[in-house]
């Protein structure tokens, strides 16, 4: 059992005993308890100073030193403290100071806020010790600033790291472009373009980087179009309408992504398949329209109150879409004759 807990337990034991006569040990307990309260308050004040400066991790680290501050406070802020103060007053013993409990509450909140950040804080310290690249350390700092927006330290650190990182961009971009390192160029572009920088990156090099990546993207898209053209040709040869339609949709999406004009010579590679699909889809649409018009005519013929004009109108619409079968013509004539007979 800790010394502070033993002292408090002895005080509480005295308060619950039937013999509360003054003795020298009572003064020793009073002196020891006052000293515990003063030491706890001093540590609380120091923690509060850290917290006011946004140094939450430092405050927690200081509070966790042996003996842990919150454990000490839990012991010395015991329920019978008011009775002990009365006893101290009665026997003219040293009065314990008030505990800075609001500071203790702030420290408790700091612990609660720190817990979700624990993994990132460990990563931040590990990267610092390993002297990791600024880009990695800056990424972790941004996450800390996002998760802990009330702590000004993170935003200050982010701004400082950004200034140093922007200075590195010039050489990093130049080296990546010189070596035509596509992966490095893409990583740099993603790093620069996905964040709002407090210090603008070098715009001339950014433009060179953008132009290089645009050319790379064009080349990659044209390579994909070449492979896709072969797949389209194979499906066209097999008269696979659904596959050709799906692949041509992918083809057109790639043209759009690459900013490639429909008049570009590469489009000739799928021209025959595209024209064939257009003809097939047109025939399918015409057939569907004809079948719908035929169903509409059948519905009119089946209507008990249909007039001759209704039937002729439905027949004309069907005839506009294609030739009418002889059996259907006979059905129309019979229905008109039936209406006339009535």
The pLDDT of residue 205: 84
Both structure tokens of 11: 């005080």
In a 13 Å sphere around the CA of 48, the CA atoms on its Cβ side amount to 13
What are the DSSP calls for 262-293, one per residue?
A: TTSGGGGGGHHHHHHHHHHHHHHHHHHHHHHH
Q: What is the pLDDT along the chain (342 residues), one digit of tens a residue?
A: 578 899 999 999 999 888 888 998 999 999 999 999 999 999 999 999 999 988 888 898 899 999 999 999 999 999 999 999 999 999 999 999 999 989 999 998 888 877 777 788 888 888 888 888 888 898 888 888 888 887 788 888 888 998 888 888 888 888 988 899 888 989 888 888 878 888 888 888 888 888 888 888 888 999 999 999 999 999 999 999 999 999 999 999 999 988 888 889 999 999 999 999 999 999 999 999 999 999 999 999 999 888 999 999 999 999 999 999 899 999 999 899 888 887
Give the angle subtended at the CA of 306 by the CAs of 320 and 310, to the nearest 5°.
25
- Summarised one tens digit per residue, pLDDT across range 95-133 is 999 999 899 999 988 888 777 777 888 888 888 888 888
The pLDDT of residue 314: 92
Taking CA atoms, 170 is separated from 24, 190, 195, in Å, by: 76, 15, 17
Cβ atoms within 10 A of the Cβ of 66, count? 7
CA 192 – CA 147 distance, rounded (Å): 21
Both structure tokens of 322: 């294609």
259-273 core/surface letters (b: 16 or more CB in 10 A; e: else): ebeeeeebbebbeeb
Domain regions of the chain by residue span: 3-113, 117-215, 219-277, 283-341
The pLDDT of residue 1: 59
The pLDDT of residue 139: 87
Cβ atoms within 10 A of the Cβ of 172, count? 19
CA 263 – CA 269 distance, rounded (Å): 12
């Amino acid at each position: 059992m800790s010394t502070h807990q033993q002292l408090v337990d002895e005080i509480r034991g005295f308060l619950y005993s039937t013999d509360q006569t003054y003795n020298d040990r009572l003064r020793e307990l009073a002196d020891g308890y006052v000293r515990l309260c003063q030491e706890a308050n001093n540590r609380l004040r120091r923690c509060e100073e850290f917290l006011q400066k946004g140094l939450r991790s430092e405050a927690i680290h200081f509070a966790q030193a042996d003996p842990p501050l919150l454990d000490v406070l839990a012991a010395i802020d015991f329920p019978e403290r008011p009775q002990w103060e009365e006893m101290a007053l009665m026997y003219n013993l040293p009065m314990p100071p008030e505990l800075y409990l609001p500071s203790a509450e702030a420290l408790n909140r700091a612990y609660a806020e720190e817990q979700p950040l624990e993994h990132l804080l460990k990563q931040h310290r590990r990267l610092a010790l390993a002297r990791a690249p600024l880009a990695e350390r800056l990424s972790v700092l941004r996450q800390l600033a996002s998760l802990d927006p009330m702590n000004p330290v993170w935003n200050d650190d982010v701004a400082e790291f950004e200034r140093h990182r922007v200075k590195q961009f010039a050489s990093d971009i130049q080296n990546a472009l010189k070596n035509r390192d596509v992966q490095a160029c893409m990583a740099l572009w993603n790093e620069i373009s996905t964040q709002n920088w407090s210090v603008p990156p070098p715009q001339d090099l950014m433009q060179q980087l953008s132009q290089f990546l645009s050319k790379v993207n064009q080349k990659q898209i044209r390579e994909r179009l070449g492979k896709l053209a072969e797949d389209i040709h194979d499906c066209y040869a097999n008269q696979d309408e659904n596959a050709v339609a799906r692949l041509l949709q992918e083809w057109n999406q790639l043209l759009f992504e690459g900013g490639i004009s429909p008049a570009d010579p590469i489009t000739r590679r799928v021209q025959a398949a595209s024209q064939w699909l257009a003809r097939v889809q047109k025939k399918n649409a015409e057939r569907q329209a004809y079948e719908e018009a035929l169903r509409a005519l059948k519905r009119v013929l089946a209507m008990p109150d249909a007039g001759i004009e209704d039937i002729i109108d439905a027949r004309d619409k069907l005839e506009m879409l294609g030739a009418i079968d002889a059996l259907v013509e006979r059905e129309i004539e019979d229905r008109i004759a039936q209406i006339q007979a009535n």
